[in-house]
Every structure is written in structure tokens, then in C-alpha cells.
Amino acid sequence: MSVAVSAPGKVLLVGGYLVLDKSYSGLVFGLSARIHTISTISTSETGAIVVRSPQFSNATWTYTLSSSENGVSVKHVTDKSSSNNTFVETTIRYVLSYLSLPKIPSSEITILADNDYYSQPTSAVPLQRFSNQNVPLSSAHKTGLGSSAALVTSLTTCLLQTYSPAPLQLSTPSYLTKIHNLSQVAHCVAQGKVGSGFDVAAAVFGSCVYRRFSPSILQALPEANTPRFSQELREAVDLSWDVGIEKTKIPKGVRVVMGDVDCGSSTPGMVKRVLAWRESEKEAAGEQWDELERVNRGLIDLLGQLSESSHDDVRKQILDIRKNIRAMGVAAGVPIEPEEQTKLLDAVSTGVPGVLGGVVPGAGGYDAVAFIIKDDEETVTALKEFLAKWDDGKVKALETREEQEGVRVEQMKQYEGFGNYLKLS
């Protein structure tokens, strides 16, 4: 039997940079754009896992596996046309080492991404679902929805469902916590042990107010396939982490619309510069972060009790948040809300009725914009038309919207129309 799992993307509406410190929080919404993972146990005796991402060129990876007391060794069988996929390889290594199976059956895995994860060409004809990008994965232009976290969470859950002796229901809280902890470990290792983990939390639990776990939990783990690796990995994953996850949802009557700027910023570089500034200017930076936390929590509280009469309060709160973010960016010498984005956000907020405000989400920069708007067709249409005329249409409203639900098991029936095209087993 095949197993299908999907996990959502994310938008960190407020809390960029602050979520790196467990003393502060961030508001992250899951998104309806999902990454799907479909696995089938193979009859092959090769003892290998074959992973395909058929929307991209030369995107097939074959891994041979061997077990030992120190974990599962995963070797990428390379050929001229295949590149490395660190996130896939690391996730397979960590999940199977956690399970410590005496024998690992071969399997075939297909990964599918909803279209909004990647910048799409303008077309009068609607794109089919899971459209072919016609480029290698490394050349695809991401829209900043958290594809790596959604991929790792989706793949982690799919592998657990496929290979666990007795797969559990995702509604079981302890199982979701296990998925979260294991996905956080794999994602953190794959991206070089940086980041706060809010994107993985949203992929697992959906929309939430997030406060990060202690970095020491992961820093204490030994390197893969060294003595005691499997045992210490299991112990760490099965622990109760000091993470704060408060489930939330966008209030009725409003929605989030993401804008793809198709430009791109170096998030790790920006984070390093902000943290260096915070270290060198501890007192001033501390005051700035405390003030940002205050105004961020103000918006979170407003959204929690939103009514038509409080829309103006939301507008003012968003402007206050943006003012503080720009001040932090100037102090740190980092374009968290670049001038071009400021002009766009101001123009949309004042020029499109029904828009409560917009922010440059996450770490900021040129990657994306997010708008909180009234949830009606008139406002959505007006926003799309405004963006189409802005800067020669370089900013495109994505179809994805906020979604409360996190990782979930999917019904196979929805993929039947893609069987031949996507080589599903």
C-alpha cells in the first residue's frame, strides 16, 4: 500500500529575528500551499530508497542503506545527471536511525510541491496542479513559503508512517510531538544548525504563536553514525522539549494574501548581521527587541478578538510594527524592510480599500510581502489588479492563503490524474 502525507508552508507574520531567542515569540500562519510525499514499499531487493521530484529536471535520487548499532548509513548513488539533495538525504538518515529497524525494505518516494512554492510564468491559461517547472531544482525561483521545512516534515511523517511497526494516527498528541522533534532535528542539521524552528512548527501543527526550544537540545547530539548516535537521537526526540506552541487562527472575516516579489535575499547573511549588531549594541538592541515584542503581541491580541470596529486598530498596530522593524534595520545596517518594499506596502495599504496592512514577513528583505485584508472577493480582486500594475507587474499575488491545519495524511485518490505524468508507483 502507498502512504501519502502533506505539510503546509508558512508565513511568519510578526516576530522575525526575535524568534531566534526563546525569550520572544512570533506569529506564524500555516499556508494552504503544501508539499506532498507519497511512498510505496518496493519489491526490489536492492535495499535502496529511490526519491523522485518529477516537477524538476534530473531530480531523482537513489540512496543505498545499511544499518549498524550507530544508526543507518545512507549513501547517495550518484550519476552525471543527479545533484545532491541534503534535506532529503539527511531526513532519511535521521528518521531511519531513529527507528533502528533490523531490516529496511526498499521503497519509492515521490515528492510533489503545490505551484505557489515557485515563481510561475504569467499565463492566460490556468496552470495544472503540480506544474512542471522545466528546470533543475537548484534553478527554481522560490517564493519564500518555507519549502525546506514543509519538505522535511512531510518526508519525516511519510517515512514514519511507512516504516514504523505500528503507524499511529496523526491526531495523537504524542505522535505529533515526535514528528515535530524529529523534523526539527533533521531540518536543523540539513541547513547547518541555524534557525529558530518556527517553520517546522507551522508545518507540523499549523498556525500558532511560537516560542523556540533551547538550542542546547540539538547541540548535544553526536554526529550521525558515530558511537551512541541512534540511542541519543531517540532519547532527544522522545524528550519533552521546552518549546512554546500556542495554536491560533486568522479571525473570521480577514485573510492573508502573499505577494511573490521574485527577487530574493540572503536570509542567513541578514540574520548574521542583525545578531552581530545585537551582540555589539546590547543595551540599545535589547530595548529595540523588547519594544518589537510589545507591538507584536499587541497585534496578536488584536487579531484574537478582531471585529469590524477594530480594523483601524489593526492598521495602526501594523504601522507601528513596521516603524520598529525599519528602525532595527537601520541600526543593524540590514535592509529588513527595504525602501522599495516600504513604497509598495504604503501604496497598497492606502490605495486598496479593504487592506488592513502589509508587512515584509520573516527575516524581511526582497523575498515576499504579506497583506492582511478583508476576506471578500472584491478586496482580493482589487489587490491583484493593483499589484499587476505595480512596477511592471513584478509583484504577483499568490493563490495560497492561511490554513490552520498542519501535517496530515492524504487520500491517494487525489493523485490518480497524475499517475503517468509523475511516474507514481
Q: What is the structure's pLDDT at 308?
A: 77
pLDDT digits (tens, 9 = 90+) for 283-311: 999 999 999 999 999 999 999 888 878 89
Query: What pLDDT is attached to residue 264?
Result: 52
At residue 303's C-alpha, the angle toward residues 301 and 306, to 5°, is 110
* pLDDT value at residue 423: 54
Vertex 95: Cα angle to 413 and 402 (nearest 5)? 50
The separation between CA 293 and the C-alpha centre of its own chain, rounded to angstroms, equals 22
Nearest Cα neighbor of 200 from 20, 70, 41, 9 is 9
Q: Where in the chain is the domain with CATH 3.30.70.890?
A: 254-401
d(CA 361, CA 351): 21
Q: Is residue 391 pLDDT above 70, yes or no?
A: yes
Average pLDDT over residues 104-126: 86
Distances (CA, A) of 7 to 143, 147, 399: 16, 10, 17
Whether the pLDDT of residue 321 is over 70: the answer is: yes
pLDDT, position 150? 98
Question: At 392, is the pLDDT very low, low, confident or very high (cuts 50, 70, 90)?
Answer: confident
Q: Which of 153-162, 189-198, 346-355 has the lowest mean pLDDT?
A: 189-198
Q: Look up residue 425 and give its DSSP letter.
A: -
Q: How far is CA 326 from CA 103, 256, 284, 319, 346, in A?
A: 55, 22, 15, 11, 13
**pLDDT the model gives residue 378:** 97
- Using a cut of 0.85, tell me whether the model's pTM lies above it: yes
pLDDT for 325 beyond 90: yes
Q: What is the average pLDDT across 216-224?
A: 91
pLDDT at residue 245 greater than cutoff 80: yes
Give the pLDDT confidence of 344-380 residue by residue, as tens digits: 999 999 999 999 999 999 999 888 899 999 999 999 9
Secondary structure string (H, E, C) spanning 358-412: EECCCCCCCCEEEEEEECCHHHHHHHHHHHHHHHHHCCEECCCCEECCCCEECCH
Q: Is pLDDT at 261 greater than 50 in this prediction? A: yes
Q: Provide the grid cell at 19.
A: 524568534
Mean pLDDT of 14-22: 95
Q: Could you tell me which CATH number the domain at 2-247+405-422 has?
A: 3.30.230.10
Domain with CATH 3.30.230.10 in the chain: 2-247+405-422
pLDDT confidence bin for 425, thresholds 50/70/90:
very low
* 41-98 tens-digit pLDDT: 988 777 899 999 999 988 999 999 999 888 999 999 987 677 889 999 999 999 999 9
Classify 254-401 by CATH class.
alpha beta
Q: How confident is the model at residue 128 (pLDDT cuts 50, 70, 90)?
A: confident
Closest CA to 323 of 369, 359, 298, 356: 359
Give the total residue count for the chain.
425
pLDDT at 124 over 90: no
Say if residue 126's pLDDT is above 80.
no
